[in-house]
Structure formats: structure tokens, C-alpha cells
A = this chain, B = another copy of it.
Amino acid sequence: MNNTSLLQLFELQPGQYVSGESISQELGVSRTAIWKQIKKLEAAGYRFEASRRLGYRLISIPDNLSAAELASRMKSNVFGKEVQLFDSVESTQNIARAAAEEGAPEGTLVIAEQQLNGRGRMGRGWVSPRGKGVWMSMVLRPSLPIYFAPQLTLLTAVALCRSLKRITALPIGIKWPNDLLIEGKKISGILLESAAEDERLTFVIAGIGISVNLEEDDYPVELLEKATSLRIAGGKKLERIDVITDFLQEWEQLYFLYQEQGFSPIVTLWEALSVSLGKPARLITPQGDIVGVPIGLDETGAIRIQLEDGSVKPVFSAEMGEPL
């Protein structure tokens, strides 16, 4: 008995219970063998209802990403030109970095159905359950001085925000520097790891986590106040492949626009999408807290904070706390 023959039996009777006895007769295997096979299918993302009296009913099939379908539907040219699709990994970021160190070209994309040890900013974890989100990392090789790496972080947030707003029509905004929020709750994470020699970038690994179809019970309780998903916020399930292909197209367009026209169009777009501007905030830095009103980005990508005395201070790196 293989998965296919068992699944075919269920497909012949969609939505119906199939008794263990009839499966046993059709496939010539024991009831125990059937039970073991059902468990295997469940581990791969299939969901069944089991009834001692009626047998098994197939409720849902896994929504796995397919490399072939991704390739055929990709709307970007360089971003995602090569895709490495994994079932379960520790972290897509580590795989993409190893690929970059081995010479993988710009646009190489690592996607996983599940991350066992997804990484967020500042060494925090990132919830990445199987099949529920977009967990991916891309190799970038911008020919840029290291000064400009933070601009890529802001650019990536703009691209993701524009794409997700277009697909979902949800009120998504950017919290400085690169968190996307719906009504104050985080729906995605962006982590750019840069490698440089002297003043030149050699590669950048852009990690993107998008909480697409997570349900409330996918989150640890303590995160529910701070995190949500597109599905929870919008009330409907989305096809992850639509999310991926639309975002890659938007991201690639902005990336090439940036290389041609510089950072100023990105600043305009970022400021228009930001939910951080104009509200008093506390910025936590290793040198101490800064309290003031964020009023925009400067030409390097630092956020400009208006202090109480009216002066404006650029802040390059901080954790932004809640508005005061």
C-alpha cells in the first residue's frame, strides 16, 4: 500500500466516511497497516476524522508549495529565478547564507514549509508552523557600499507592505524600521543579514516571514496580543503562492528602481506607509533611551527624531517602543 492508492480511495468518495473494512478489502492490507498509513499522512499535513463505527473521512489535504507551480507562476525575473524548496528546516536564513558563501547568485530563494528554529531580530525566535505562512530567505548581491545596507531593510518593508495591501486590502502599516502591523499587531518579520569586506557589501541574506494562514491556536498565548495573521485579520485563507509571487515582483521592481534612482523614492513610499511618524515614542538604544517624535527618514535611512527642545536627531539603530 502506498499513499497514492489510499488517497485515491478517499478521492472516489469525496467528503464521505470510508470504513476500515472496505479499505482493508480494496487494498488487501490489515486494519493496523491502514491506521499507520493514516498517521503518516497526518504528519505530512493531511487531516482526517476518525470514527470507530464509520471509518475515516478525509477533511483536508495539505496546501504544499510546489516548485514547478512556483516556477511557472513567477512574475519576477531575477528574484526567485532559482528556488530551493524544503519541507522542514532549522532556519531558511542559515541555508541561504551557506548558499551565498558557496557563490549562489543574486535572487536565489530558499523557502520552507516549516522552520523549527526560525530567527527574528535581536536573536528572538519566529513562529513558523508547517504550511501556514511564507518562510523564506533570499540572496542579494547589491553592488553597494556597506553604508546603504539599512536602506535595503526599509526597501524590503515597503515592498512587502505594498504587495500585502494590494492582495488583502487590509490596513497594513510599517513600524520603524521594518515591522508590518495590522492594528498594532505584527504580521510579518524582516531580517537582513549583511556580509561586507571593508566598505563593500559582499552579500545580503534577506529573511522574510509572513504570517499568512496562521490561526489563533498556532500562536503561544503570550504572543496573541502582539501578533496576528492575514487570515485572522482578514477572515479568509490566502494562497501562499499568490503572496510569494506578487511580493517578489514588487520587491524586484523597487530594488531595481533603487539601484537606478537612489533612495529618495523609497523614502517617499516608506513615509507614506509608516505608522511610526508623528507620534511620541521611546527609542531604546545601547547608549540609552531617546524620547521624541519620529518625523521622517533622512537620506541615509536613519529615522529623524524631533526632541523636546525642537532639535532633530537622526537615530541609526534602536528598538522602537510603544507610542507614549
- Residues of A179-232 at the interface with B, using a CB-CB cut-off of 8 Å, are 190-200
**A150 is contacted by which of B145, B195, B300 (Cβ under 8 Å)?**
B145
B residues in contact with A150, CB < 8 Å: 145-147, 198-199
When C-beta atoms are compared, the residue in chain B nearest to A178 turns out to be B198
A147-B192 CB under 8 A given contacts A198-B121, A200-B317:
no
Cα A230 to Cα B253 with chains together (Å): 52
Cα A300 to Cα B197 with chains together (Å): 17
Cα A1 to Cα B284 with chains together (Å): 66
Interface code A273-306, partner B: CB below 8 Å = 1, 0 otherwise?
Answer: 0000000000000100000000000001110000
Copies per assembly? 2
Whether A95 sits at the interface, judged by CB under 8 Å, is no
When C-beta atoms are compared, the residue in chain B nearest to A194 turns out to be B196
Judging by beta carbons under 8 Å apart, are B191 and A193 in contact? no
Judging by beta carbons under 8 Å apart, are B178 and A316 in contact? no
Interface code A92-129, partner B: CB below 8 Å = 1, 0 otherwise?
Answer: 00000000000000000000000000000110000000
Whether A143 sits at the interface, judged by CB under 8 Å, is yes
Judging by beta carbons under 8 Å apart, are B286 and A199 in contact? no
**A146 is contacted by which of B122, B143, B146, B191 (Cβ under 8 Å)?**
B146
Whether A64 sits at the interface, judged by CB under 8 Å, is no
Judging by beta carbons under 8 Å apart, are B146 and A198 in contact? no
Interface code A32-74, partner B: CB below 8 Å = 1, 0 otherwise?
Answer: 0000000000000000000000000000000000000000000
B residues in contact with A168, CB < 8 Å: none
Judging by beta carbons under 8 Å apart, are A317 and B145 in contact? yes
A195-B197 CB under 8 A given contacts A145-B316, A147-B316:
no
Chain A positions within 8 Å of B, measured between CB atoms, are: 121-122, 143, 145-147, 149-150, 153, 177-178, 190-200, 286, 300-302, 316-317
